Structure 1
């Protein structure tokens, strides 16, 4: 699927135009989305609202909103629809064909149709929907540790942050048992959080691998809860440059 690899040995995929044309969207098997919603509510709380997709291509992607609570004091947005179709996983990765995405936002984040007119509020929803559709548009897959820059060259996700890319990782601020949902005897859905990255972190991951980057995250206490002004874990100080 690709002849390009990073220094860490991970394949690099570059996408331009869609590989297939428009087709009527699929809405998944009966009860599929309800099972995902029940799973999310079991671990995070009751869904407060759903941002329904009006026009869909390939698959119908909805974004669900769970408000902050004492149990989880932050917003949770998650998709249903990405897993309506299997992804084109490599040989040996068939168990990872189905996935859904989520993002955790601080309680002060503005979430409403009106607030989403501002890109600084809307970008998490845009990325959820765009990434949920990407594997099906380009006959590929997304999974743990995959990184996606915001363009080439990468640009900031919004005006209020310097971060310019995304990494997909399993959430860590949730009880055990959440990350995989068995749908039937053959298929399971995996859940991945969108975590924004600085350009230096993206380059570090490409050179050293996702495990090395998550080690840095662990040392700095960085989780799936988005902090648009957090410390850049891979930016060297002027003192470190002077020391060589």
Structure 2
């Protein structure tokens, strides 16, 4: 596993990765029962899957993105991956039991998600991040989990032309039954589910300086959850 490049003021490790230069590797496809169990779990706690963006060309692992449309009960899109959990991540000793994960992102009901619309980077970026992050730990022999953050480049740039947010944090989703957060597979392995939440640069800096808990306190204060609002308040603007 990679060693930290440096440490933040709060003592959290910071990793910097250069562009991957490994040769192409044939992708791992999950067993049909594995994928079906994940789909069934999501269907039970979130809703029916309406469509799937099947990956045509894969490297390392085959990542598909599944889409659940808005409903009166959950008036937003839920997108989630299958494929990240086909291989174990290289977790440290203190994260034993968190080797397997899948990701999700929640988009407002007016998000433009047709095939034609997704040719526009301003609408496609959530899917791009889902696929990139799902493959990332396998590309770099590392891991991703709760409270991990990642900037959009170095220096960080806005995720799209529609927002000033320029990075992400992984957190367990709030708008779900607690039983959704992990899924025990038939062979005893456990898959954990994390939401992608966009962050402002000030929020990323605040977390590096003070740690995750004070940032999450601010999220709770301002009622921020996993449903993306590109114009939401910057919780650390004044800090």
Match in the other structure for 1:48:
50
Structure 1 residue 21, shift from structure 2 partner:
2.4
Q: What is the TM-score of this pair, normalised by structure 2?
A: 0.96
Counterparts in 2 of 1:227-238, with a 5 A limit? 227-236=229-238
Match in the other structure for 2:100:
98
Q: Are 2:228 and 1:192 equivalent residues in the alignment?
A: no
Deviates more, 1:219-228 or 1:6-15: 6-15
Deviates more, 1:106-115 or 1:56-65: 106-115
Match in the other structure for 1:181:
183
Counterparts in 2 of 1:27-106, with a 5 A limit? 27-106=29-108
Cα shift readout 1:47-93 (whole Å, capped 9, x = no counterpart): 00000100000000000000001221110000000000000000131
The answer to whether the Cα contact below 8 Å between 1:156 and 1:164 also exists between their aligned partners in 2 is yes
Distance 1:139 1:19 in 2: 13
Distance 1:88 1:11 in 2: 16
SS in 2 for 1:109: coil
Distance 2:91 2:21 in 1: 16
The answer to whether the Cα contact below 8 Å between 2:167 and 2:198 also exists between their aligned partners in 1 is yes
Deviates more, 1:18-27 or 1:218-227: 18-27
Distance 1:234 1:66 in 2: 32
Structure 1 residue 20, shift from structure 2 partner:
3.4
Question: Runs of 4 or more off by more than 2 Å in structure 1?
Answer: none
Match in the other structure for 1:241:
none
Distance 2:127 2:89 in 1: 21
Structure 1 residue 185, shift from structure 2 partner:
4.3
Structure 1: give runs of 5+ residues left out of the alignment.
238-244
Match in the other structure for 2:216:
214
The answer to whether the Cα contact below 8 Å between 2:66 and 2:79 also exists between their aligned partners in 1 is yes
Distance 2:142 2:23 in 1: 15
Structure 2: give runs of 5+ residues left out of the alignment.
none
Q: What is the TM-score of this pair, normalised by structure 1?
A: 0.95
Cα shift readout 1:177-235 (whole Å, capped 9, x = no counterpart): 01000013431000000000000000001111111111000000000000000000000
What number of residue pairs does the alignment pair up? Answer: 237
SS in 2 for 1:177: helix
